Structure 1
């Protein structure tokens, strides 16, 4: 990673898992990291943990701010407070998420996985786009997806899974939405003549984080919980390694926008980060444009991006 002195980074879900590891790495390189967390208490606990464990290596600074991606009012409040306090935003890491949980709804009535993983980050990025554009030099939006996006599709007839709900199908849909959003944002930035903001998608492979445990815990399934723990112990890489694709997407040279970064080892589940191909459906521009339009309607957030006219 390059040095990141005088750079401001926002990481959603920064108090645990991949977000925690990314926060540590950014701070070690000198960045000011805004830890966007649903629980400020858990965010503060994470800062104390980082400072205790890495006090000699932390050159940057940490700031905790409340952000509940399941509540669009909270997303708007976070963005307003960030803009009031910070003139620059160099990297936005759309990292937080929920995975394979029993069906529930956000404060705005969205299916929780689609609402948090995609719509919350869609709204957050839209609210912060002006800071990204106004910041001197190149800035990046990094959106965390999953290899599970490859089994996903976007069911526009039942986006909120009201007629039928399968927790893994809903998760796959939300993770495909992440990739479609990352690519469409980069296209719209390019078509609007915005050269210094790039949008990238990434995935961690199979990393041992608490994300996998939440679904079984919420469902009250002890058997599934122990099976997940066993699978993590046997197959998963550490959460520190799992954060590498996000860090690569956020800081590596040669990233032009529109890439998909993941681990290049066994079955793309572990190993060093590299630029990869995502699923065929993730490159469907019609599907991406329709998702964008629906996302604007659902969130009420529109992006100030006017596409430049092309010569006939």
Structure 2
């Protein structure tokens, strides 16, 4: 694996179509920018269209010939996910990169439009449904990849996925966040297994960004604890650009085989250059992953058709 990898190591992405959920800000924006700079067609999948168009203008200011588009996607509303997938398929005929990046982190307790705990519903179930609805395009596109973004908060957690699907289960915001991201990581591993078992050359990769200085911790919360934590994370974290490197590595590095877990190589995974980590392999439980898949299809109503 290359050492010291940065976005300068990304090759020519001409002809590749990429979706970046949450591509208008933070790590998602830096991911979108880097892909556009290397000639990919990039679709920012965003909830707020005004912010999406502002992000496109910002990208084109530094890269005037960038091929960047905005489509509306609310991951907390499964109907919106279906509408996004349908519109994307009307406008594009291939999908090389699906970057499942968008998410919420420790907001005040609430539920999605479909009644799921918000973090589990937005961070995981929305992306699960999106991937399933776009799977046919992903499979038919050569060398396509699905990148699912996990988190340090999921490390060393035991899966309790079934408890976070409804609004009645009580849990801390941090635990709910960690479980939602652990589900994303399990999903990436399980998707790779299902692709490989069917001799499909598309790849699924999990990654985590470490801690970014733009981290979403407690967004929407004005409590003293949340404000102090946000300030401390900014001090120890890395820039949004550097935090995007594990995502970009997973999406573009030629040595990727599928099934890897990529994260910063520095102390405790907080910052550093992209590296392959063994943690997900050590943490993974096959029957739990399979059960999560079945449960997710039931909850979202989206069945993956390989």
Q: TM-score range by the shorter chain?
A: over 0.9
Within a 5 Å distance, the mapping from 1:1-312 to structure 2 comes to 1-52=10-61, 54-55=62-63, 59-135=65-141, 137-160=142-165, 162-194=168-200, 196-214=201-219, 217-218=220-221, 220-221=222-223, 223-279=224-280, 282-305=283-306
SS at match of 2:247: helix
Distance in 2 (alpha carbons) for counterparts of 1:32 and 1:60: 8
Do the aligned partners of residues 280 and 166 (structure 1) sit closer, same or farther apart at CA in structure 2, a change above 3 Å counting?
farther
Distance in 2 (alpha carbons) for counterparts of 1:149 and 1:280: 14
Do the aligned partners of residues 210 and 176 (structure 1) sit closer, same or farther apart at CA in structure 2, a change above 3 Å counting?
closer
Contact 2:215 2:233 in 1 (8 A): no
Counterpart of 1:310?
Answer: none
Do the aligned partners of residues 49 and 6 (structure 1) sit closer, same or farther apart at CA in structure 2, a change above 3 Å counting?
same
Contact 2:60 2:66 in 1 (8 A): no
Question: Normalization by structure 1: what TM-score?
Answer: 0.91
* Unmatched runs of 5 consecutive residues or more in structure 2: 1-9
Aligned length: 296
Distance in 2 (alpha carbons) for counterparts of 1:278 and 1:213: 26
Question: Normalization by structure 2: what TM-score?
Answer: 0.93
Moved over 3 A (4+): 279-282
Contact 2:213 2:235 in 1 (8 A): no
Q: After superposition, what is the alpha-carbon deviation per residue over 1:1-24, rounded to whole angstroms, capped at 9, x for unaligned?
A: 011111100000001011000000
Distance in 2 (alpha carbons) for counterparts of 1:65 and 1:156: 30
Do the aligned partners of residues 182 and 224 (structure 1) sit closer, same or farther apart at CA in structure 2, a change above 3 Å counting?
same
Deviation at 1:293, TM superposition (A): 0.3
Distance in 1 (alpha carbons) for counterparts of 2:284 and 2:228: 34
Distance in 2 (alpha carbons) for counterparts of 1:277 and 1:83: 36
Contact 1:179 1:282 in 2 (8 A): no
Q: What is the Cα-based RMSD across aligned positions, in Å?
A: 1.5
